[in-house]
Structure 1
């Protein structure tokens, strides 16, 4: 059976799994265990990891790249639900405490999604300031009032990235939650580092789902939190599974890139936000020159420069305005998938472990 046909079977089984759930605890009907499924799953996961790793460095940490990483998370969780038929065997073999750990992690990952949603709301506020700045520059001619309004909006953008407004209570509180979230993810990663994933298909699938989810959530926490101060966590894995090597290589490359950006004093790790910061800084430097221009020819020259910088600002504004809702949608899907996976195991008869 080819990989494509195997995953077509996975999809069909998953649809059956989702449509037959009920409110009472029942055994979940899934397709009969296929020894090739776990191999197909590992190959697919390794392929997704390699696709992320092989991207051009300029594409790393972009909205599109992050969406691909989040789609990988969704894929692992879909397969993990299909291993539910092994659940009774896992419990009977005395691995109930491991299941408890998984259930505990799922709650924490759900909390992480809530924090990440707040981080996206902060970026949407940033986009709002960009919009105010651009609207001010639409006036023709650009007068003193428009220049001041635009500069004030751009200053709000700069403050958000440079943490100058951290004293604002609600923002400081939100960043404190983000810091707690980062610490929580790190502790989960440390526990996973000590886990043995070679206990069967069920463990491999659930383990892989947790590894990539924690990694991607940590990545999003760094990238989406304005002026993040935390380093990307490391999940150390070794073994014979084909995806381990791909995961370790990707993890190392992403971590090196983040540290490189931070060492160069780049306040925004998200690629589109980083480009917006450069455009904001350039526009903020150009605008005051209109105010100081005396000769009409000099003033026209400065206005042309402002208009040119406004076009760049408009381009990055559009990228963020269109991209952030896409990230938001993917995050909602992960949140929903985490809930569904958790409920799937809660709906089963766990016995007395």
Structure 2
């Protein structure tokens, strides 16, 4: 998921570079395409916010795991009871649906409606740009739908995209989409919970450890308990690191989309400029 989001960031940065190299001034853009871009960018920011809210929720769950592990270091019955309470809260946390993720499907479906390969006449540069943006939109919707489905635990967030057969990468994308979406749907069909691998490993470790301490007494099988305790600590740390990496890259994608939108708005306020419509920006101005 981290690599997929990093790839998405690279693609959107490449689009900005391409626009610079093509030297297409904003003043020459059709107003319709500017409106479409603005609408798409808002939807992408909404998706980023939804993903960020889920990452924040999972990170809050990590604090509960840390609290449980801290209490498990003690031999007192009181501390074991507190550890059980923290583990109960963690399981409740990951089992709760995030309404912002549930709304991703409608946002993604709106994005699909904007995905088309427009015909550009009498403009070789315009044709190159439209083809590149078409590929970027396909990749963006595909990656975001997969991430939203995995986090929400809902296969309805998966979208099956039809790609124009005139593109050289249509077959490769179709095979990738079939394998990824099919694999995720297969996991859901078997009722596996949660789908995220690192989260599933923590879930299993908690399930193994919990029965040993639920009565508030120190386990008789000390070695088994110690191994389970250590295993939970390792799994929790691995999950936390993964969530941290993913949080940073989602935040990076948000800033890329926001900076491109901000820069375009700046150029529209200066109709005589011929500068790159999507240069880097400090992202401080945002008009929806």
TM-score exceeds 0.5: yes
Partner residue of 2:234?
315
Change (3 A) 1:320 1:260: same
Distance in 2, matches of 1:89 and 1:154, equals: 55
Bigger mean CA deviation after superposition, 331-340 or 144-153? 144-153
Partner residue of 1:135?
70
Distance in 2, matches of 1:229 and 1:176, equals: 15
| Cα offset, 1:231, TM superposition | 3.4
Distance in 1, matches of 2:215 and 2:226, equals: 13
Tell me whether 1:244 sits opposite 2:170 in the alignment.
Answer: yes
1:1-353 maps to which residues of 2 (within 5 A)? 66-84=1-19, 85=22, 87=24, 91=28, 96-139=31-74, 142-163=75-96, 175-192=98-115, 195-197=116-118, 199=120, 200-225=127-152, 227-228=153-154, 230-288=156-214, 291=217, 299-301=219-221, 303-349=222-268
8 A contact 2:67–2:83 mirrored in 1:
yes
Change (3 A) 1:277 1:184: same
- SS of 1:230's equivalent in the other structure is helix
Aligned residues: 262
The two structures, once aligned, show a CA RMSD in angstroms of 2.5
Q: Which runs of 5+ in 1 are unaligned?
A: 1-65, 167-174, 294-298
Q: Which runs of 5+ in 2 are unaligned?
A: 121-126, 272-288
Distance in 2, matches of 1:258 and 1:182, equals: 16
| Cα offset, 1:318, TM superposition | 0.9
Which TM-score applies when normalising by structure 2? 0.81
8 A contact 2:26–2:264 mirrored in 1:
no
8 A contact 1:222–1:228 mirrored in 2:
yes
| Cα offset, 1:182, TM superposition | 2.4
Distance in 1, matches of 2:254 and 2:73, equals: 39
- SS of 2:47's equivalent in the other structure is helix
Which TM-score applies when normalising by structure 1? 0.67
8 A contact 1:162–1:267 mirrored in 2:
no
8 A contact 1:70–1:216 mirrored in 2:
yes
- SS of 2:156's equivalent in the other structure is coil
Distance in 1, matches of 2:149 and 2:259, equals: 26
Partner residue of 1:63?
none
| Cα offset, 1:159, TM superposition | 1.4
